């Protein structure tokens, strides 16, 4: 291959001369240690390269080797349960090779070359197959069946197909087109910066359930949709991301730790194998791919990590799975862009970020979607993207948040004041929004209860009204409110404390099924209605607010899913309690 | 043989531009010989063909372009370590300054370290009892955590940090502890306070001290925390010690970074700080942690003073995004005479959930701390309302909460500088304060817990009331 020479080193940026055939975004190997790098600018005879590893020790005169390939990920069986760095090197393999600290220049393929997978063919000899058609399956983990597809841009007649144990590099089928034979292996490569092809996109309509009450009930995200979670530090972004990764009803989870804390990745790594998926009962790790490029790892690889993650996500989507991808945090990705842009001496846009920040962010989120995949069976897959944003000082007017909000359809705005009161998840119910409300309503009506739509609207109206009344209380005191308004204030408090607040670390409270969410909200609203009725009948407000049943409502979140009928009983109790007190009043 | 040049072209702030060099590497250590014969050190920030940009750790005073010698050492900056470093005092680059013998290094380590493989990390979960209720009860520290103290000018952060260093222990374990103290740009008096504090408690024998004072070269500060943390890594992972690293003051570190960035004419991020400030800070903070199957650990307590007490200033802001929580000191509490003036509401410890509870502290720890937070927040809200509308406008319940928050500040948060409370004392005190509130308002604790831990205090209160009535 072509060889060039370094002429300049500045942090993660290296400028090389003599790479005349290099294309943009080509992968190159830099220095004697052959560090991974990517061409990001071409100027005359020089190529600017962002290097995915620490560049200390490189200097002018060191060699640069072209590879002629774009930065790609390896796709095939073995992705699940893996933990990769930003350029798809398995961190467990790296540890075995070089120890507890990541040394430079370690090479490790994304997929294990030795491991044999049991391939079961589904296509038959003589079939005419093209891109996306399923040739066979491999049981990758106990819950996920890996579908081996015809790679993009390949088609022909199936001449041979094998069955049995193969490594990812051994041929499992042979195609013939125009007399030319083409061997197919389970391993595919795909350049990370291009979206994988699909037949067509369709609008998302089914909610991605997360077991988080404030999300599922008030601000749902649809499968194939996009959401963002901006919030200042300490407001619980990461916990929300973890909760989604744990409890979302997607079949595959891709979790990208992009420039975040090492211990958080360790937490995921240690916890996921122990936690049980509420839908399949198997350990969560079996459906998860982790990408960890922590904040102290090389900055350029951080830039690549979100693309590595989303390409893997698209690959599983192409198999017809619903995939949920979490990127924590996209602000770190943007900062990596900024750092590289600064080194390239580009003209900066806002706050030093490059002018193309918006288009890059949009292109990333646009790779989400609900799609009809390539392949004869027209299977449907979806890729949901949830990005955390870490705005400096919690200021949402900063460029990364603004550029993200322009694209995503769901906004979960976190607020530090709520976090200080330990109201978690600290999602502000008045600021946040979801543009998938109408789409998901149908699902709720069909799957849970037709009453749900009204219930949700009523509850939200109470919360809105509370905010207005609070202003009045602040100015003139509680006494200025009518009894009905005071009931409303109490109900709003109940919605906030007994419904919206959810303890991620409590074994029961951490996950609520749709049914439970519905019943919980219904109890609160039922109490509200009966309380208003009681007021009309002349019962003292103090007696209503001191009713012991209210304590039961506040503890409803701790009712186990198996004992959900207790909630139904509670509903009946509310009515009967007030009958009793009414009789007492008479 | 190191290559020596006398080809300095430009001197800009702390930076030197040296021409006609060959075979120089990025990050390489440079030795400078000033015209007066004194020696200095620097490193290569950027290299373009035959021109190297160097930052001088000793500053550039006295440098000229004709007589200054620049020697490229052929490797990055290193620090020599051995067992004998314990109890010694070094300057910001790792030279001894306590008059003792030079260290004979057992090995030399690059100060830049390498990123710890997330797969090799062990999750920190050993509760450290600091004896300070506001920390132990509400924002507990665990071994391997990085928990900064956000302070401001004139607040007692040295006392708090020294108290933590003095009292910290892991319950039920006797292990080798060490302290690495790294001073960056602080005053002589502040540094002296820490050193005399360590001497008084005999902690000095297990301490390694790195001092870069306010009048030492600013750019040297860029290397100081790295030298200190490399030493800490040696103590933790080679010698198996549990190391507490105190870094003070990170604000001066960041300012040194800004100085270099400005001299390089880089595109600035917020408030003139370089766009890579987050990444740079991460390479310091992320060196805290524990490794699977290794005995030692590194716990970091960085101290930073927030300019104008502003938490959204880039330094505290980016720090908060990297560290696992923060302890925030409050000027209001300090003015009220409360020590330690820890503002518990915005303070946070992210790793607490796995470090507390049955077998670690006590089964009720998590719920009682959540309850205390919620009650204190509500009490403060009520007090704010009372300021506008007068106390009479509060409902009876809100009055109780307001009373609670006052007691909470003066009894729970406030404690002596040498008062070392056990975790049981802290939690019981929490329950005692909660018993002032109506039971139905305590939604974060279970009924069993109320019965088990709070009932005895409730009775006492009833008796008190009875006595009051009698009186």
- B227 & B255 share domain: yes
Whether A259 contacts chain B with CB within 8 A: yes
Report the pLDDT value the prediction gives residue B466, as an integer from 0 to 100.
Answer: 60
- B71 & B94 share domain: no
The residue among B117, B324, B356 with the most chain A CBs within 10 A of its CB, best to mutate, is B117
CA–CA gap between residue A545 and residue A288 (Å, rounded): 46
- Test A10 with B26 for CB contact under 8 angstroms: yes
CA–CA gap between residue A355 and residue A358 (Å, rounded): 7
The β-bridge partners of A291 are: A84, A256
- B360 part of a folded domain: no
The pLDDT > 70 percentage for chain B reads 97
Question: CATH 2.40.50.100 region(s) of chain A?
Answer: 112-186
Following CA atoms B452, B454, B457, B459 in sequence, which dihedral angle do they give, to the nearest 10 degrees? -70
pLDDT tens-digit profile of A51-80? 998 898 899 999 999 999 999 999 999 999
Whether A335 contacts chain B with CB within 8 A: yes
Question: What is the DSSP pairing of strand B39-48 with strand A3-10?
Answer: antiparallel
- B146 & B293 share domain: yes
Query: A35 to each of A2, A64, A465, B154, how far by Cα in Å?
Result: 16, 9, 59, 48
Residues of chain B with C-beta less than 8 angstroms from the C-beta of A102: 114-117
Report the pLDDT value the prediction gives residue B440, as an integer from 0 to 100.
Answer: 80
- Test A294 with B321 for CB contact under 8 angstroms: no
Whether A417 contacts chain B with CB within 8 A: no
- B67 & B88 share domain: no
CA–CA gap between residue A240 and residue A81 (Å, rounded): 21
Provide the token pair at B192. 């002296």
Report the pLDDT value the prediction gives residue A579, as an integer from 0 to 100.
Answer: 64
Question: CATH 2.40.30.20 region(s) of chain A?
Answer: 3-71
Q: Architecture of A77-94+198-434 per CATH? A: 3-Layer(aba) Sandwich (3.40)
Helix, strand, coil percent values for chain A (each to nearest 5): 35, 25, 35
- Test B23 with A61 for CB contact under 8 angstroms: yes
- B296 & B162 share domain: yes
- B204 & B86 share domain: yes
Partner-chain residue, chosen from A103, A262, A338, that has the shortest CB–CB distance to B289: A262
**B171: CATH:** 3.40.50.12240
Low-confidence ranges of chain A (pLDDT < 70): 578-586
- B43 & B104 share domain: no
Provide the token pair at A270. 């240690």
Question: CATH 1.10.1140.10 region(s) of chain A?
Answer: 452-583
Provide the token pair at B410. 């003066």
Kindly write down the DSSP assignment for every residue of B165-191, as one continuous string: HHH-EETT----EEEEEEEEEE-HHHH
Question: What is the DSSP pairing of strand A288-293 with strand A252-258?
Answer: parallel
The residue among B140, B321, B368, B401 with the most chain A CBs within 10 A of its CB, best to mutate, is B321
How distant is the Cα of A205 from the closest Cα of chain B, in angstroms?
35
Domains: count for chain B:
3
- Test A262 with B237 for CB contact under 8 angstroms: no
| CB contact residues (below 8 A), chain A span 517-546, against chain B | 546
Taking CA–CA distances from B270, the nearest residue in chain A reads A351
- B357 part of a folded domain: no
- B321 & B392 share domain: no
How distant is the Cα of A152 from the closest Cα of chain B, in angstroms?
33
| CB contact residues (below 8 A), chain A span 60-79, against chain B | 60-61
Taking CA–CA distances from A394, the nearest residue in chain B reads B312
* H or E stretch at A389: strand A380-389
Whether A478 contacts chain B with CB within 8 A: yes
Residue that finishes a domain, picked among B51, B75, B99? B75
CA–CA gap between residue B86 and residue B93 (Å, rounded): 16
Q: Radius of gyration of chain A from Cα atoms?
A: 27
- Test A263 with B144 for CB contact under 8 angstroms: yes
- Test A477 with B389 for CB contact under 8 angstroms: yes
Q: Length of chain B, please? A: 471
Whether A103 contacts chain B with CB within 8 A: yes
Query: B244 to each of A25, A298, B96, B329, B418, how far by Cα in Å?
Result: 44, 26, 21, 20, 19
Low-confidence ranges of chain B (pLDDT < 50): none
Taking CA–CA distances from A423, the nearest residue in chain B reads B374
Contacts for A480 with CB less than 8 Å, ≥ 6 apart: A472, A473
- B248 & B382 share domain: no
Instruction: Classify each residue of B91-121 as buried b or exposed e, where b means 16 or more C-beta atoms within 10 Å of its C-beta.
Output: bbbbeeeeeeeebeeeeebbbbbbbbbbbbb
Is domain A452-583 in CATH 2.60.40.1220, yes or no? no
- Test A266 with B123 for CB contact under 8 angstroms: yes
Residues of chain B with C-beta less than 8 angstroms from the C-beta of A100: 116-117, 120, 237, 291-292, 294
Taking CA–CA distances from B276, the nearest residue in chain A reads A339
pTM: 0.91
Partner-chain residue, chosen from A56, A57, A393, that has the shortest CB–CB distance to B312: A393
A171-177, strands of its sheet edge to edge = A128-130, A155-161, A171-177, A180-185
CATH of domain A3-71: 2.40.30.20
- Test A7 with B346 for CB contact under 8 angstroms: no
Partner-chain residue, chosen from A100, A351, A479, that has the shortest CB–CB distance to B270: A351
- B348 & B411 share domain: no
Residue that finishes a domain, picked among B41, B75, B109? B75
Domain span holding position B455: 365-470
- Test A234 with B351 for CB contact under 8 angstroms: no
- B303 & B416 share domain: no
* CB-based contact A83:A90 (threshold 8 Å): yes
Report the pLDDT value the prediction gives residue A275, as an integer from 0 to 100.
Answer: 84
* CB-based contact A315:A191 (threshold 8 Å): no
How distant is the Cα of B395 from the closest Cα of chain A, in angstroms?
8
- B66 & B87 share domain: no
Residue that finishes a domain, picked among B20, B52, B75? B75
CA–CA gap between residue A124 and residue A173 (Å, rounded): 10
* CB-based contact A332:A295 (threshold 8 Å): yes
| Class level of CATH domain A112-186 | mainly beta
Contacts for B366 with CB less than 8 Å, ≥ 6 apart: A505, B352, B353, B356, B357
DSSP-H helix ranges across A231-321: 237-247, 262-271, 299-318
- B358 part of a folded domain: no
């Amino acid at each position: 291959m072509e060889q060039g020479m370094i002429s300049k080193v500045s942090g993660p940026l290296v400028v090389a001369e003599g790479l005349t055939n290099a294309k943009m975004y080509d992968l190159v190997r830099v220095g004697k240690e052959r560090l991974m790098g990517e061409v990001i600018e071409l100027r005359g005879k020089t190529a600017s390269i962002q290097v995915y590893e620490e560049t200390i020790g490189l200097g002018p005169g060191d060699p640069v080797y072209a590879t002629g390939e774009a930065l790609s990920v390896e796709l095939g069986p073995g992705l699940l349960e893996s933990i990769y760095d930003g350029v798809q090197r398995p961190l467990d393999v790296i540890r075995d090779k070089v120890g507890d600290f990541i040394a430079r220049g370690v090479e490790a393929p994304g997929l294990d070359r030795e491991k044999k997978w049991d391939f079961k063919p589904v296509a038959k000899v003589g079939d005419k197959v093209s891109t996306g058609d399923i040739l066979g399956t491999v049981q990758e983990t106990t819950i996920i069946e890996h579908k081996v597809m015809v790679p993009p841009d390949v088609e022909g007649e199936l001449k041979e197909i094998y069955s049995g144990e193969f490594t990812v590099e051994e041929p499992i089928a042979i195609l013939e087109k125009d007399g030319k034979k083409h061997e197919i292996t389970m391993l595919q490569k795909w350049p990370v910066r291009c979206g994988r092809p699909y037949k067509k996109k369709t609008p998302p309509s089914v909610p991605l359930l997360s077991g988080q009450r404030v999300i599922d009930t008030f601000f749902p995200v649809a499968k194939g949709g996009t959401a963002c979670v901006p919030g200042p530090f300490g407001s619980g972004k990461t916990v929300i991301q973890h909760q989604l990764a744990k409890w979302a009803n997607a079949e595959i989870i891709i979790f990208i730790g992009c420039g975040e804390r090492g211990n958080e990745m360790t937490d995921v790594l240690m916890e996921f194998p122990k936690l049980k998926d509420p839908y399949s009962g198997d350990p969560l790790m079996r459906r998860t791919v982790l990408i960890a490029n922590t904040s102290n790892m090389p900055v350029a690889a951080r830039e690549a990590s979100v693309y590595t993650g989303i390409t893997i996500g698209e690959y599983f989507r192409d198999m017809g799975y619903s995939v949920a991808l979490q990127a924590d945090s996209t602000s770190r990705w943007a900062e990596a862009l900024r750092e590289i842009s600064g080194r390239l001496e580009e003209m900066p846009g806002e706050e030093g970020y490059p002018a193309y920040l918006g288009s890059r962010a949009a292109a990333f989120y646009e790779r989400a979607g609900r799609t009809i995949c390539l392949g004869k069976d027209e299977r449907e897959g979806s890729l949901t993207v949830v990005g955390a944003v870490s705005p400096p000082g919690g200021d949402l007017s900063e460029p990364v948040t603004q550029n993200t909000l322009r694209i995503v359809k769901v906004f979960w705005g976190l607020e530090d004041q709520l976090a200080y009161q330990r109201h978690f998840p600290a999602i502000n119910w008045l600021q946040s929004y979801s543009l998938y409300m109408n789409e998901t309503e149908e699902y709720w009506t069909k799957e849970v209860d037709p009453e749900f739509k009204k219930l949700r609207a009523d509850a939200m109206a109470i919360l809105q009204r509370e905010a207005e009344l609070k202003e009045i209380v602040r100015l003139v005191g509680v006494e200025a409110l009518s009894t009905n308004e005071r009931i409303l204030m109490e109900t709003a408090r109940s919605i906030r404390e007994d419904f919206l607040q959810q303890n991620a670390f409590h074994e029961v409270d951490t996950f609520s099924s749709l049914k439970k969410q519905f019943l919980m909200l219904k109890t609160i609203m039922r109490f509200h209605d009966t309380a208003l009725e009681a007021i009309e009948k002349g019962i003292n407000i103090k007696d209503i607010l001191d009713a012991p049943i209210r304590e039961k409502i506040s503890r409803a979140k701790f009712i186990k899913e198996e004992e959900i009928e207790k909630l139904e009983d509670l509903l009946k109790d509310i009515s009967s309690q007030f009958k009793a007190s009414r009789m007492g009043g008479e | 043989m190191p290559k020596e040049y006398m080809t300095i072209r430009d001197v800009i702030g702390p930076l030197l531009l040296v021409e006609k060099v060959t075979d120089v590497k990025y990050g390489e250590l440079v030795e400078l010989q000033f015209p007066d014969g004194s020696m200095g050190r620097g490193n290569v920030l950027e290299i373009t063909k035959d021109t190297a940009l160097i930052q001088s750790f000793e500053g550039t005073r006295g440098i000229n372009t004709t007589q200054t010698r620049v020697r490229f050492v052929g490797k990055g900056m290193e620090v020599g370590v051995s067992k004998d470093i314990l109890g010694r005092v070094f300057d910001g680059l790792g030279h001894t300054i306590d008059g003792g013998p030079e260290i004979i290094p057992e090995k030399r380590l690059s100060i830049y370290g390498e990123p710890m493989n997330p797969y090799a990390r062990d999750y920190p979960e050993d509760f450290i009892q600091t004896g300070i209720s506001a920390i132990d009860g509400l924002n507990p520290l665990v071994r391997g955590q990085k928990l900064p103290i956000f302070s401001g000018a004139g607040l007692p952060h040295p006392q708090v940090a020294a108290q933590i260093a003095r009292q910290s222990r892991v319950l039920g374990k006797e292990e080798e502890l060490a302290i690495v103290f790294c001073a960056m740009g602080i005053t002589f008096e502040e540094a002296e306070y820490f050193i005399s504090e360590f001497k008084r408690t005999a902690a000095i024998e297990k301490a390694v001290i790195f001092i870069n004072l306010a009048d030492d070269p600013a750019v040297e500060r860029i290397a100081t925390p790295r030298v200190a943390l490399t030493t800490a890594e040696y103590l933790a992972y080679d010698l198996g010690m549990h190391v507490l690293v105190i870094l003070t003051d990170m604000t001066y570190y960041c300012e040194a970074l800004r100085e270099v960035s400005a001299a390089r004419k880089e595109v600035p991020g917020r408030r003139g700080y370089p766009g890579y400030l987050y990444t740079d800070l991460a390479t310091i903070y992320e060196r805290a942690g524990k490794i699977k199957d290794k005995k030692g650990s590194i716990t970091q307590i960085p101290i930073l003073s927030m300019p104008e007490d502003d938490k959204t200033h880039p330094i505290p802001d980016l720090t908060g995004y990297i560290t696992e929580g923060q302890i925030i000191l409050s000027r209001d509490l300090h003015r009220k005479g409360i020590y330690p003036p820890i503002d518990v509401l915005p303070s946070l410890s992210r790793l607490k959930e796995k470090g507390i509870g049955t077998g670690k502290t006590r089964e009720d720890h998590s719920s009682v701390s959540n309850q205390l937070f919620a009650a204190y927040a509500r009490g403060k809200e009520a007090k704010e309302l009372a300021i506008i509308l007068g106390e009479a406008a509060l409902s009876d319940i809100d009055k109780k909460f307001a009373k609670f928050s006052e007691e909470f500040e003066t009894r729970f948060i406030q404690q002596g500088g040498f008062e070392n409370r056990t975790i049981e004392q802290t939690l019981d005190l929490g329950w005692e304060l909660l018993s002032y509130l109506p039971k139905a308002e305590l939604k974060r604790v279970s009924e069993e817990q109320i019965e088990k831990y709070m009932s005895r205090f409730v009775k006492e209160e009833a008796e008190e009331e009875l006595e009051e009535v009698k009186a």
